[in-house]
Amino acid sequence: MKIAVIGTGYVGLVTGTCFAETGNKVTCVDIDINKVNKLKKGEITIYEPGLEKLFLRNLKENRLQFTTNLEEGVRDAAIIFLALPTPPGEDGSADLKYILGVAEDLGKLIKAGEYKVIIDKSTVPVGTAEKVKAAILMSSSKSSTGAGDIADAFDVVSNPEFLREGVAVDDFMKPDRVVIGTKSERARKVMGELYAPFVRQGNPVIYMDERSAELTKYAANSFLATKISFMNEIARLCEKLGADVDMVRRGIGSDERIGKRFLFPGIGYGGSCFPKDVQALVKSSSDVNYNFEILNAVMKVNEDQKLHLLPAIKDYFKNNLKGKKFALWGLAFKPNTDDIREAPALYLIEALTKEGATVSAFDPEAMSNVKNTIGDKIEYTSNQYEALKNADALIIATEWNEFRTPDFDQMKTLMKNKVIFDGRNLFDLAAIRALGFYYKSIGRETVN
């Protein structure tokens, strides 16, 4: 099949590459000319495990192409994915200007008699498929070259994406489920054929109406965010009551109804999805006069949790962080990605530097993104140990695997003080006690 993917970021590039991998001919369109030029030359623009190999293979086989020209991208495509940003607007709602802008442009390009399926892959509020359809029709009717009545020439489908950064290729190639929102039989058939290679093991393709599909994505992310904030509150309680959150986590996670995943406490969720999606669902709810009480609490807990370690850090240094040097391990919002959107590490950097402290940071993939955002506000080091030189304390913000079993002897010789504030609970309490570190983690006894 001939596919166009509009927007070549995390979702668009993975989507385009994976559809090319199953034999389709894919053209990815992006307005960012630098990005497109790099991709054309075979330079991958995001870090995502396993993606580069597939990307290069499909580029070489000519199944994957890149352009900044929308018309060229969609000309032969029977299937058009919108993988565009939906950032939070000022009031928290998802800003649809990218989606609706492209929909208007498509209205001028769609011709009667050349059926196309247009698919919202972006995370969009309930009712967006209808808005996209209206925008296409409106702009087609205004267009001088447009064919006028193109109502039968396209369908708009909601097909939310559930991939997780860090394991995006696996998630896309072997999805737990594919959700397809459409009332059109014709579009349903096209979508079923397109996804058939990805669900050969029998994972379900769940068909529903557009509105339910749009809400499904928000409900999924909001539920997961709720699980995280719930566990972070349990962790806070553990600290006050002298319980160990790791034990509680194991105790509840073995109950099938609860499940083991998403029960790890930490310094809050970040990334490009959970914060904005929870906020957008709260806004959608208030738009229909519904106060989504649980999600308001989820957001509040998460805001506070990002700086949960700060009082302990200040306490340790007797409320004076001026001139203190902090080593920071981890900048990405989670491991195996270079994405720093809403990363808790950035909030910590802001708070520490405001108090007059300096920060020396290492992250295996995210340093250049941070440098592009905050410049030389902090020092960047070429490995995790260099960051520790003369540090008054180490703070761990991201659970990269390479931080899990570090060389503690080397750490002791490099650091000024043997002090660790761990926002991701990486180390065993007994082991760290034997090594003689002061160690504050989340929801567990402080070792001192």
Q: By rule CB under 6 A, what string of x and - marks binding of each residue 338-367 to ligand NAD?
A: ------------------------------
Q: Name which position in 3, 4, 5, 6 contacts ligand NAD (CB under 6 A).
A: 6
Binding of ligand NAD by 4 (CB under 6 A): no
Binding of ligand NAD by 21 (CB under 6 A): no
Among the residue ranges 6-14, 172-180, 207-215, 379-387, the one whose residues contact ligand NAD (CB under 6 A):
6-14
Among the residue ranges 78-86, 173-181, 225-233, 409-417, the one whose residues contact ligand NAD (CB under 6 A):
78-86
Binding of ligand NAD by 95 (CB under 6 A): no
Sheet holding 325-329, edge to edge: 379-380, 358-362, 325-329, 393-396, 419-422, 438-440
Closest residue to bound ligand NAD by CB: 9
Q: Name which position in 1, 78, 98, 429 contacts ligand NAD (CB under 6 A).
A: 98
Binding of ligand NAD by 12 (CB under 6 A): yes
Q: How many residues in the chain?
A: 448
Q: Who contacts 208 (Cβ-Cβ below 8 Å, separation ≥6)?
A: 179, 180, 181, 216
Nearer to ligand NAD, 3 or 6 (CB): 6
Within a 10 A sphere around the Cβ of 206, how many other Cβ atoms? 13
β-sheet bridge partners, residue 65: 27
> Which of 182, 184, 163, 188 shows the shortest CA–CA distance to 173?
163
Binding of ligand NAD by 432 (CB under 6 A): no
d(CA 235, CA 244): 8
For the chain, helix (H) and strand (E) counts, in that order, are: 17, 14
Q: Name which position in 17, 27, 123, 305 contacts ligand NAD (CB under 6 A).
A: 123
CA angle 309, 353, 344 (to 5 degrees): 45
Tokens 């070429």 belong to 382
Binding of ligand NAD by 86 (CB under 6 A): yes
Binding of ligand NAD by 425 (CB under 6 A): no
Smallest gap from Cβ 322 to ligand NAD, in A, equals: 37
- Amino acid type, 243: A
> Which of 434, 390, 383 shows the shortest CA–CA distance to 408?
434
Query: Is 424:267 a contact under the CB 8 Å cutoff?
Result: yes
The question of whether 273 is a catalytic residue gets the answer: yes
Which residue is catalytic, options 18, 28, 238, 273?
Answer: 273
Binding of ligand NAD by 120 (CB under 6 A): no
Q: Name which position in 26, 80, 102, 180 contacts ligand NAD (CB under 6 A).
A: 102
d(CA 272, CA 341): 5
> Which of 180, 116, 107 shows the shortest CA–CA distance to 142?
107
Binding of ligand NAD by 114 (CB under 6 A): no
Catalytic sites, residue numbers = 273
| Footprint of ligand NAD (CB under 6 A) | 6-12, 29-32, 35, 83-86, 98, 101-102, 122-123, 161, 163, 165, 272-273
